[in-house]
Structure 1
Amino acid sequence: MASGKGQAFLDKFAEVSAKIGNQVHLRSLRDGFATIMPIYILAGIAVLINNVVFPLFLTGDGLAAAQYWGNAITQGTLSFAAILLCGVIGYCFAQNKRFGNAIACLVVSVCCLVIMFPQAVNTAVSNLTYAVSAGETGAATQTLEAVDIASTLGIAEDASVTTAATGVISTTNTGANGLFAGIIVSLVATTIFIKISSVEKLKINLGEGVPPAVGKSFNVMIPLLFTLSIFALVAALLHGIWGTNLMDIIATCVSAPLKDVMNAGPLAVIVIYTVANLLFCLGIHQSTISGVLAEPILTVLIVENMAFYAAGEAIPADHYMNMQIVNSFALIGGSGCTFMLLLDTFLFSKNKASRDIAKLSILPGIFNINEPVIYGYPIVYNVALMVPFVILPDIFIAVTYGLTCMGWISPCVVQAPWTTPPVLSALFSTGMDWRAAIWQVIEIAIGMAVWLPFMKVSERAQAKQLEEMQNAA
């Protein structure tokens, strides 16, 4: 354990990091993603079955019929992700702010997000169906092919013909591409709503003789109307003056730059996880930092990858870095890749206490749960073991990203459950790429080689401490 100025620095570092992780907006963001994580995992399983399992034994119409199942799940999860996340974050923010009507914040968040959607959607026209007799009810219809449309309009056959459709909402906005808008709108809308709700004169109190749900809804009716009106005014001004909408602005000015930061090589992700794992060594869970600074953006990227994969599209290079690279290849056995430490302990350790901890920890470790190792081995404040705990994930993030860029392993396209055991997690996350599984086995071997000398140093230090204690007694 550090002492003097070093200890004071570590304490201050931990204090500042904890304050960042507990900031109410960031904490609500982390809680929101954690709440709907099972939906993304279900979507990943459906995408994997649709694109890998069904094609093994089905073709043609049979394959299309079977894939309807997975497409239905994708439509209800990935295509609706922005609205789901928006509502859940609004709810979590209200809970973290200890606001008395959290469900109203969910409603406000979703309504405000939909208000900000464009009211007309430009869509490509491939075929045009029209009534032969416009004035006759039930008249026969005729379909005009894309080539004929181009000929009629006097444009090139390969030119894009679009039309503005009204009365529809594009899944581009409700799905993965709208996640950042959902995050921003939920936090802003809920903040405004809670602030207006604190004005006593705007509350409508129906007394105690009405059902609680009715009383609560009337209590926030005026603040709700004000909040929705504010967002509607913003949407109208953006459309009327600048001819744009909030979704396009956020996509250009917020989501694109944040994704660029994460995909300008693995440096940003490595820095965040270095700090996060160092904090874990000081007793503060790594999600305090990584869960609020990196995981939301990286999760958006893997969700978008699932949408690309489900549509049969190639994964763009700027989506190679995502949450699944971290979960599958840099957190083997949990934070710090402690699964390899457990294997070293079984094979090479002669320390009875360490072996007893390893016996208790190996089953959770297989499923990437490693708190028993971190606090029982222990790794917390164990300087010798802190080194591999921090550096191994950094190495694996960088190398896995490099292998993906070189095409040696496939990009991650499925958000597998974080408890998926090693090898299986590599297969599932890359759409069953056997090369990824081999790389993960190589990672385990590398991790064991890195952990071994530090484990030996730690055991020598423990033996020396025990000897000194016995001599002192």
Structure 2
Amino acid sequence: MTRLIDWLERYLLPLANDLASVRWLVALRDAFVSTLPISLTGSVAVLIKSLIVAADRNWGWHVFYQVMQPTVATCNFVWRGSVAMFALFFVLSWGYQLARACEVDPLAGAMTALCSFMMSIANYSYLLQGNKRVKLNQAFNIKQLSTTGMFTAILFGGLGVALYILGVKARLGLRIQSQMPPAQVAAFEAAIPVMLALFIVGGLNYLFQTITGQYFGDWLLEIIQLPLLKLGQGFVMVIAVTALTQLFWFFGINGSSALAPVVGSIWATAQNANLLAAANGHKIPYLWTSTSFVVFGVSGVCLPLVIAILLASKRGDHRTLAKVALAPAVFNVNEPMLYGMPIILNPVYFLPFTLAPLANVSLAYLATRLGWVNRVQASVPNIMPPVIGPYLACNYDWRALVLSLLNLLVAVLIWLPFVKAADKIGSQGEPRRFFMPQY
């Protein structure tokens, strides 16, 4: 075990630190995190609407359903203004965060990213009239502004901001007298870099469309985005990301943040597609999403340890810490156990800390694949208790409650032997305590 820890510390830790320090990846992570209020708002709207519809269909509350029609209509408006336009909000945040990370005007970066994105998606749509499909020019399909346009937003939004940053760093902006209002000074200084960036992006889109006959966003959806989303639904991908997340956390690096670009670009896109399908009453397309990863995997990782300690440990210091950490652990706040026990760089707890989430994710993936529980259809906050979170995320599926309790039981059973082993370690064998910064 010591050799394994040394090997991981020598080869994995530098990689994790490098990933956590790349400004582009940090900006991409922050962009996904900053859109959380939008996805949560849309999820709440879908959950409220689903509950009202379920009351009518399953319980026969027809009068209640009719009375609540204004609420249903309000939820439709909220959904259409939030998740249905997710790529639009994301590209604004992506441009803002990337420009801020590179220490240039973030507002200009956000607008440049938005313009670059809008130039790269098709400005036509189709209208069905009977069996005929009529093309409408100068019209944006709202689907392109949702999860369908996510990869276009990441790629061309990032390209536009990168060109703008290069222009600013090359000092191509206009120099304005300082007595002007700050907003005007910033606007004039950003004008030329933004103009150059947008003309380059526009020229690239023109060349691409001339050569291929397609808009870049449509091509990217067919060639890259859909295959990547399909790859993200595979069991190997789910297990690999879960294992890496736990390994990063073991060395004190926030694994969820370090892998946020992967989780966000693939599984968040799938999650928003599920949310759109649920809002429209369609079949849920994707088996695994970013919320699946959280509610069935890594979010409540320390609650089973707390329960195992309270059940089996005879060490007074461990039991005292577990009692203090119980309330935070119920709401998925893991830091008291991660740094107080500690779990980080503690070889005694390396295996259960890695194996318990892997077992939980495997069980949840299998149950979802077999149709024993609904697929995730809503986003829930990370602080939602482990049993309630899956119930809400799976659109009020009682089977998700059972799966959550089973996952909790499995995780506790995995932790128990190692908790008993830790009891036998005396003060001389106590693992070193490391307090490493989070990234």
TM-score normalised to the size of structure 1?
0.85
Shift of 1:253: 2.0
Task: Give the 5 Å matches for 1:17-166.
Answer: 17-53=16-52, 55-56=54-55, 57-58=61-62, 62=67, 64-99=69-104, 101-125=105-129, 146=130, 160-166=131-137
Give the counterpart letter for 1:191 in structure 2.
A
**Identical residues among aligned pairs (%):** 22
Matched AA of 2:235: P
C-alpha distance after superposition, 1:289-327 (max 9, x if no partner): 3323334311111111000000000112xx101112111
Amino acid at match of 2:177: G
> Rg: which structure is higher?
1
The answer to which of 62-71 and 191-200 deviates more is: 62-71
SS of the aligned residue for 1:123 comes to: strand
State the Cα deviation string for residues 443-463 of structure 1 (Å, max 9, x = none).
Answer: 111111111001111221245
* Kept after mapping to 2: 8 A contact 1:329/1:396: yes
Return the offset for 1:6.
5.9
State the one-letter code of the partner of 1:27: V
The residue identity in structure 2 corresponding to 1:322 is: T
Q: Does 1:182 align with 2:190?
A: no
3-state SS, counterpart of residue 217 of structure 2? helix
Q: Secondary structure at the match of 1:163?
A: strand
Is residue 459 of structure 1 aligned with residue 428 of structure 2? no
Q: Of 323, 326, 342, which aligns to 2:293? A: 326
- Measured after TM superposition, the shift of residue 433 of structure 1 is 0.6
How far apart in 2 are the matches of 1:197 and 1:11? Answer: 39
Q: CA deviation at 1:65?
A: 3.3
Structure 1 residue matching 2:209: 3-state secondary structure: helix
SS at match of 2:314: coil
1:341-380 Cα offsets, whole Å, 9 max, x none, are 1111112211111111112211111111101101101111
Of 288, 294, 308, the match for 2:277 = 308
Query: Using the alignment, how far apart are the partners of 1:191 and 1:97 within structure 2?
Result: 9
Per-residue deviation, 1:119? 2.2
User: Is the counterpart of residue 380 in structure 1 residue 344 in structure 2?
Assistant: yes
- Paired with 1:347 and 1:61, the residues of 2 have a C-alpha distance of 50
Choose from 167, 173, 191 the match for 2:162.
191
2:143 corresponds, among 162, 172, 193, to 172
Return the letter of the residue paired with 1:102: P
Could you say what secondary structure the match of 1:244 adopts? coil
Question: 1 CA distance for matches of 2:99 and 2:62?
Answer: 48
- Separation of aligned partners in 2, 1:192 and 1:391: 44
Contact map agreement 1:113 1:181 (CA 8 A) in 2: yes
- d(CA) in 2 for partners of 1:275 and 1:331? 11
User: Equivalents in 2 of 1:423, 1:8: separation in Å?
Assistant: 36
TM-score, structure 2 length as denominator?
Answer: 0.92
Alignment of 1:424-463 (within 5 A): 424-462=388-426
How much is the aligned-residue C-alpha RMSD, in angstroms? Answer: 1.9
Matched, 1:253 2:228: no
Whole-Å separation in 2 of the counterparts to 1:168 and 1:249: 18
Distance in 2 of aligned mates of 1:282 and 1:113: 37
Given that 2:95 and 2:161 are in contact with CA atoms closer than 8 Å, whether structure 1 keeps it comes out as yes
Residue of structure 1 in register with 2:433 after alignment:
none
Does residue 355 (structure 1) correspond to residue 319 (structure 2)? The answer is: yes
The one-letter code sitting in structure 1 at the alignment partner of 2:378 is V
- Mapped to 2, the partners of 1:459 and 1:397 lie a distance apart of 28
Q: Secondary structure at the match of 2:136?
A: strand
CA distance in 2, matches of 1:415, 1:9: 33
Distance in 2 separating the partners of 1:63 and 1:238: 49
Identify the residue that residue 420 of structure 1 maps to in structure 2. Answer: 384
User: What is the Cα deviation at residue 382 of structure 1?
Assistant: 1.5
Q: Following the alignment from structure 1 to structure 2, what is the Cα–Cα distance between the partners of residues 222 and 282?
A: 45
Summarize the Cα distance change of 1:242–1:295 in structure 2 as closer, same or farther, 3 Å threshold.
closer
Cα 1:407–1:6 shift into 2, 3 Å: closer
Are the equivalent residues in 1 in contact too, given 2:242–2:298 (CA < 8 A)? no
Tell me how far apart the structure 2 counterparts of residues 295 and 81 of structure 1 sit (CA, whole Å).
Answer: 12
Counterpart amino acid of residue 78 in structure 1: V
Contact 2:356 2:410 in 1 (8 A): no
1:412, 1:430 within 8 Å by CA — same for their partners in 2? Answer: yes
Mean CA deviation greater in 111-120 or 367-376: 111-120
| Cα displacement (A) at 1:114 | 1.1
Checking the alignment, whether the CA contact within 8 Å between 2:151 and 2:265 is kept in structure 1 is no
List gaps (5 residues or longer) in structure 2: 56-60, 431-439
Letter of the 2:406 counterpart: I
Any gaps of 5 or more consecutive residues in structure 1? 126-145, 147-159, 467-473
Which residue does the alignment assign to 2:177?
207
Q: What are the Cα deviations for residues 322-343 of structure 1, in whole angstroms up to 9, with x where unaligned?
A: 112111111352xxx2111111
| Deviation string, structure 1 residues 204-231 (Cα, Å, up to 9, x no partner) | 1121121111011111211111211122
Q: Which residue in the other structure is 2:262 paired with?
A: 293
Deviation at 1:257, TM superposition (A): 2.1
1:106-138 CA distance string (max 9 Å, x none): 01011111122222212212xxxxxxxxxxxxx
The answer to whether 1:282 aligns with 2:282 is no
Partner letter of residue 170 of structure 1?
N
User: 1:32–1:88: 8 Å Cα contact kept in structure 2?
Assistant: yes
Structure 2 CA distance for aligned equivalents of residues 293 and 242 of structure 1 = 29
Structure 1 residues 123 and 175 mapped into 2: Cα distance closer, same or farther (>3 Å)?
Answer: same
> Which residue identity lines up with residue 133 of structure 2 in the other structure?
T
